[in-house]
Structure 1
């Protein structure tokens, strides 16, 4: 392997939200969804050259940016994106918030499939809308969609938008074409616009295929907005760059107005050039990253089967976020998060932050060197055995 993902890199003292939030420096953070790996060398080299220039004024987004984005999705995902459909912004969360502002009025309903990314909830509430959950159905070590429930809730005349997480965080699902078609048909039939968060789209494991929702039909394309970013796949979340893809001109005009109202219409020069470098020169690095992440998942799965049989983890099809069932401990997720930090020096995400369906679960971030992953698993094992007694 050309790139060394086993390298242990200290992130303490860099004002890392993930690593510098804990007062106790012995705490191993496996929570916030960024990776503990150096990003692709092509990105680092591009940023270094820009820094050496020494002037960091306002930036414009060049033609080469749009070309990098559209070429990547055409080449890797067979999705032809017109440059005019792209609106850039500072992140997927600001994008989702602006889209909700553009497409709803206060009091409207927004559908989500829980357990789901926690920022969906705040984006909905901050725009004065009502959260309507269509819970996913847990079946063995995976989740599936409750289409009957989704149909019933989409039929409500106040339901205007559905936030789709594709691939899904934290359930680890990579939705199939058939699943996406059924979701899209329901939403199209009831006039619900699909806003698809596809930030984890590049992080898909063998046997699974990421399908952009809007690529499935012209009807889906015209009645959806897709949020994409290289930030998760290339570990550049701090550079704050994302894109909204919206083919419908009137909808795009409303979104453009909303991002200006929310003051998230400008991006920084580092995010722009990092995106270009990632999409033009980062493909081999990403391929090797996926091999490493998949092996991390296999190691965690095998460890849990042998040493933690009471703690079922969901089958990970995509993302680097593992969902663990900890209900055998008979503690709330928030209680367990606190206990693990204080007594095991391990920080995981409480499942309850992803909706009531996440109560009793914990989310692991396994995007780290393998030695660090095994350290975290051993810390959990030792403490879980004490709690089970």
Structure 2
């Protein structure tokens, strides 16, 4: 019988002085001092013990030459997708990238040409927009609709935008960062139908696909149908799931061999073929043995999310957190404060002394919102709520 290990996510681990972007760079990046960092999607939790053990074993070997993804690594990813998402994938479909953002830039560059348009759905993760602009392509937006506390896709607008023959690609965020939606099968099937009808390649960023709550189920876009698989590229990574972003490894899943050849040529062109040896060791261990850790981590994050939602409802009714279905990032509606984006930013930085991600950085549709990172010890969540409450009270006074 396997012994069940209990993880303690309440532990506060000192991260200052470790070259942590989240903790060591926050004051410089936000041009303020003494900030509580509740921003970038980086957990403050220690990784599964099995990951640490795998890294120690690899370090003890003492040689870190050019590395490849082993058969064992590839089968671990297959197993994870099969057991967590009911998706059978071939090893040939699995392509490397140091990270999903890197892959997005490679894909926009390799699958579109100057003059082509790429569609996104704001408010959305800022690197989507940057990956389009970085390659000199034209950005097209189909904004999500926020009504009665829930975000949905505007399919009428989406089809209108896709019907433009210059729109060659859509970057889908699934689950959606920052609004926390886990798209349903009907919603994703509608996207697949429209993209096929209008010959739009779907790039589905599913980096948060393992992080779902409240009985929701993440559905890999390419697993909807053979048609969807042939017209999509799926971007995944262990970086959000297990907090391995610093080890720079992700898995870009491309069932269509023609699309895969183009992507692999991009990797070759920019000399990005080879994985980080430690990243591969950590990812394999996480996918093979990190399931219990993840289950406990999700339970802990849900407690944090519920606490924030309840605190706002009871103590700061002017603020509301959008119900969290996926990701560990809370999306807080501050519009009842009637502040413009810079006033809201100054309130959070100068009065609350908290570094949230400001909503306007996700597109104009995010103005009046802030994003909070919920993947941290509960004591930090409580501290953030106390500081936020004091700031709002000072605003009223």
Per the TM superposition, whether the score is higher than 0.5 is yes
Q: Which moved more, 1:149-158 or 1:45-54?
A: 45-54
CA distance in structure 2 between the aligned counterparts of 1:290 and 1:358, rounded to whole angstroms: 26
Deviations 1:145-193 (A, max 9, x none): 1000000000000000000000000010000111100111011110001
Structure 1 residues 381 and 343, CA gap change in structure 2 (3 angstroms): same
Counterparts of 1:193-272 in structure 2, within 5 Å, are 193-272=201-280
Q: Secondary structure at the match of 1:105?
A: coil
Aligned residues: 389
Structure 1 runs of 4+ with >4 Å offset: none
Equivalent in 3, 8, 13 of residue 7 of structure 2: 3
Equivalent in 274, 284, 305 of residue 282 of structure 2: 274
Partner residue, 2:88: 80
Counterparts of 1:120-131 in structure 2, within 5 Å, are 120-131=128-139
Q: Does 1:19 align with 2:10?
A: no
CA distance in structure 2 between the aligned counterparts of 1:340 and 1:77, rounded to whole angstroms: 38
Deviations 1:333-354 (A, max 9, x none): 3443344223322110110111
CA distance in structure 1 between the aligned counterparts of 2:91 and 2:146, rounded to whole angstroms: 39
Q: Does 1:137 align with 2:127?
A: no
Instruction: Report the alpha carbon displacement of residue 25 of structure 1 after superposing the two structures with TM.
Output: 6.5
Equivalent in 338, 341, 354 of residue 349 of structure 2: 341
* TM-score normalised per structure 1: 0.97
Q: Secondary structure at the match of 1:162?
A: strand
CA distance in structure 2 between the aligned counterparts of 1:353 and 1:262, rounded to whole angstroms: 29
Which stretches in structure 1 are left out of the alignment for 5+ residues? none
CA distance in structure 2 between the aligned counterparts of 1:333 and 1:264, rounded to whole angstroms: 39
Alpha-carbon contact 2:171-2:202 (below 8 Å) kept: yes
Partner residue, 1:371: 379
Equivalent in 132, 150, 167 of residue 175 of structure 2: 167
Deviations 1:18-64 (A, max 9, x none): 00012566321000101000011110111112122222222121111
Q: Secondary structure at the match of 2:169?
A: strand
CA distance in structure 2 between the aligned counterparts of 1:101 and 1:270, rounded to whole angstroms: 28
CA RMSD of aligned residues (A): 1.3
Equivalent in 101, 110, 118 of residue 109 of structure 2: 101
Q: Which moved more, 1:299-308 or 1:252-261?
A: 252-261
Alpha-carbon contact 1:162-1:193 (below 8 Å) kept: yes
Q: Which moved more, 1:164-173 or 1:1-10?
A: 1-10
Equivalent in 162, 184, 190 of residue 198 of structure 2: 190
Alpha-carbon contact 2:328-2:373 (below 8 Å) kept: yes
Partner residue, 1:54: 62
Which stretches in structure 2 are left out of the alignment for 5+ residues? none
Q: Secondary structure at the match of 1:353?
A: helix
Q: Which moved more, 1:24-33 or 1:168-177?
A: 24-33
Alpha-carbon contact 1:89-1:241 (below 8 Å) kept: yes
Alpha-carbon contact 2:332-2:369 (below 8 Å) kept: yes
Alpha-carbon contact 1:314-1:324 (below 8 Å) kept: yes
